[in-house]
Amino acid sequence: MYQQNFPIVLASKSPRRQELLKLMGLNFTVQLKEVDESYPEGMQPADIAVYIAEKKAKAFNALHNQIVITADTIVALNSEILGKPNDRAHAQEMLRKLSGTKHEVYTGVTLVKNEQIYSFYDLSEVHCKTVSDAEIDFYIDNYQPFDKAGSYGVQDWWGLVVVSKINGSYTNVMGLPTEKLYQALAKI
């Protein structure tokens, strides 16, 4: 069992990641730093997720005797990266692409403790049923998915009604693979 011996800093404004850490029984504070989330062309989705998580973590390298947790979630459909939507039209476009398909969700996680960096990723495969433009508009109007990779949240209407199957970690699709995170914390 993981014994929390060091203060934990979650470097994420994601309410979902914060909720998951609370549900894990961890005590933590939230600290944010702006980080450029660009990445080199030609990287694979898993590498992108870890690369960005590590970029976020390196902004916190000066913290000692604390564990910093950063994460980045990537939605990939046939090797196309679906990030956070720029606007309503972009969200509609992404959700149309996801309708009736299978896609992958990668979350890269980095833990930093006393300048030691440990990174990993998790992969989940998500299957979506076919939805109409009216359902997509309903979703956007009622759930405002503009802060979510791929324009959807698995914990809301989209996940309850549209997602038909997940192979892999549900919490990974939410943005933080808690199972792997727990194991990593126990090792540090």
Domains and CATH numbers, the chain: 8-187 (3.90.950.10)
pTM recorded for the entire structure? 0.94
State pLDDT tens for residues 84-96.
Answer: 999 999 999 999 9
Q: Is the pLDDT of residue 46 over 90?
A: yes
Q: Is the pLDDT of residue 27 over 70?
A: yes
What pLDDT is attached to residue 188?
82
In order, the DSSP letters of 32-64 are: ---------TT--HHHHHHHHHHHHHHTTTT--
DSSP at 151: G
Which neighbouring-strand residues pair with 28?
A: 8
Per-residue pLDDT, averaged over 68-80, amounts to 95
**What average pLDDT does the structure give for the chain?**
94
DSSP at 170: H
> Which of these is catalytic: 47, 72, 122, 141?
72
Q: 72 an active-site residue?
A: yes
